[in-house]
Amino acid sequence: MKIVHLNTYDGNGGAGRACLRLSDSLNAANCTSDVLVFYKFGHNPKIFNLSQHFFAKIRAVFNILGERYLSRFFTKQSARTPFSLQWFGRSVLKHPLVKEADVIHIHWINHGFLSPKFLAQLDELDKPIVWTFHDSNAFTGGCHVRYSCENYHKQCGHCPLLKFAGEKDLSHRNWLRKQKAYTNLNFHIIAPSNWMAASVKHSSLLGLRNISVIPNTIEIAVFKPYVKTEAKKILKISPQKFVILSGFMPSKNDKHKGTPYLVEALKELASRPEIDNEQIELVIFGNKDQQDVPQFPFKTTFLGTINKDDHLAKCYAAADVFVTPSLEDNLPNTVMESLACATPVVAFETGGIPDMVKHLQNGYLAKYQSVTDLADGIEWLYLTEDKEEIQKEARKTILKEFAPEVIAHQHLTLYQHLIAEQPQ
């Protein structure tokens, strides 16, 4: 069986990483799985670049920058939610990998890759098409993160992100373009989380489509447990310290990642009499806004961006808890990576996180947007005498439900079913 995966970038962001991990797991299961990207940043020879030649690369950069910056003209300055216009695109019909594939598997295709017009073209190939939804954009009028907005239940319009909102605003017009494209294209939806599947079912665009819930996978031989005391020494942290790890620290005003909730939860935690502040160290990896660094109540180490997975795994393993205050996430890689390294997770009960974090078993699910409950979760892990059992349960969850061979088998079963259903 030959599968081609389509994604805008080669591993940038959560969707790109999930795409590459899936492709690797399928190849390990004796398939021919290739990844074709719109724009390639890295040098992985296993990833094929649609914009390989000079003029194709210039065109791709134009599409990407056009999509990213033109949208700012239409969205409110206060809106921190990504909004895609999908005005620019590129055809893949004639690419050899697409023509030879038995199954076309779409992933994240924004930033000027597959606009609705070029998506609809894929129907000409008469092949099974699968689309994994890594965020909500496919069934909204433009936004990638919905929060409490339910306009996608109808036909969008009156978009809270747009400067010029109304019944027939840009989000509604985008909705109509997608409706026209989807009418001409048959595809099977994969939702990585139950939350995403339920969201799709509520959408006016795709609520009646066939959908399967199949989670993403992870490299369990890379993201694995290490002896915590030894991992702490690698980070030059005292083995006696209780280490709180968190990832991606942009501006403290960042809406999507919920950074203000983390800051307030840690402040509340530090004020509690059971907590010895000198015994706690906060470690943060990822981008850091040099102009707007939050003030934390504990000694804090910023690791910056970590590009090597084996080192990232040791960072997870060094932590006693990984805290993610995200307000909406499909199936965040960071949560899966942490659990794979036997580090329990504290997070809000939102999005697809409950598919991975089992409350009081391998982590703690705090009430949505409750700073106090987020602090309670960290304190629970700080005080519990069952740390080792909770850590073992974290690793066990990944091996049982998210291991590469498990996820590859689920995808192959779906592919084979769709191929069998194709008209002969």
> Nearest CA to 316 among 332, 338, 333?
338
Residues 278, 189 share a domain: no
> Nearest CA to 5 among 14, 22, 94?
22
Give yes or no for a contact between 155 and 172, defined as CB atoms under 8 angstroms apart: yes
Residues 185, 268 share a domain: no
List the CATH number of the domain containing 84: 3.40.50.2000
- Per residue, the 3-state secondary structure of 136-148, as one string, reads CHHHCCCECCCCC
Q: Which two tokens stand for residue 257?
A: 């990642």
What average pLDDT does the segment 180-197 reach? 96
Q: Which two tokens stand for residue 2?
A: 């030959």
pLDDT single digits (tens) 287-334: 765 566 778 999 999 998 898 999 999 999 999 999 999 998 899 999
SS3 247: strand
Containing H/E element for 104?
strand 103-106
Which residue in the block uniquely carries the two structure tokens 């990407």? 64
Dihedral, 222, 224, 225, 228 alpha carbons, nearest 10: 40
Q: Return the number of other C-beta atoms located less than 10 Å from residue 329's C-beta.
A: 25
pLDDT of 234 > 60? The answer is: yes
Residues 166, 239 share a domain: no
Strand residue runs (E) in 162-257: 188-191, 211-213, 242-249
pLDDT band at 19 (very low <50, low <70, confident <90, very high): very high
pLDDT single digits (tens) 363-384: 999 999 999 999 999 999 999 9
pLDDT of 252 > 50? The answer is: no
Residues 211, 238 share a domain: no
Give yes or no for a contact between 297 and 277, defined as CB atoms under 8 angstroms apart: yes
Residues 180, 141 share a domain: yes
205-241 residues labelled b (16+ CB within 10 A) or e (exposed):
bbeebebbbbbbbbbbeebbbbebeebbeebebeeeb
Is the pTM higher than 0.85? The answer reads yes
Please tell me the predicted confidence (pLDDT) of residue 276. Answer: 96
- State in Å, rounded, how far the first CA of the chain is from the last one: 17
pLDDT of 247 > 90? The answer is: no
The answer to whether residue 37 is domain-embedded is yes
For residue 190, list its beta bridge partners. Answer: 132, 212
Residues 65, 159 share a domain: yes
Residues 256, 144 share a domain: no
What is the C-alpha radius of gyration for the chain, rounded to an integer number of angstroms?
Answer: 22
Residues 206, 95 share a domain: yes
What average pLDDT does the segment 338-367 reach? 98
pLDDT single digits (tens) 87-117: 999 999 999 999 999 999 999 999 999 999 9
Phi and psi at residue 251, to the nearest 5°: -60, 145
Secondary-structure breakdown of the chain: helix, strand, coil percentages, each rounded to the nearest 5:
40, 15, 40
Residues 347, 320 share a domain: yes
Please tell me the predicted confidence (pLDDT) of residue 78. Answer: 80
Containing H/E element for 347?
strand 345-348
Q: Which two tokens stand for residue 369?
A: 């947007």
Domain of 342 in residue numbering reads as 228-401
Q: Which two tokens stand for residue 175?
A: 């909705």
> Nearest CA to 145 among 353, 334, 328, 350?
328
Specify the number of domains making up the chain.
Answer: 2
The answer to whether residue 223 is domain-embedded is no
Residues 109, 131 share a domain: yes
Residues 235, 137 share a domain: no
The answer to whether residue 143 is domain-embedded is yes
Residues 241, 94 share a domain: no
Distance, CA of 38 to CA of 52 (rounded, Å):
9
Cβ neighbourhood burial of 106 (10 Å; 0-12, 13-18, 19+): buried
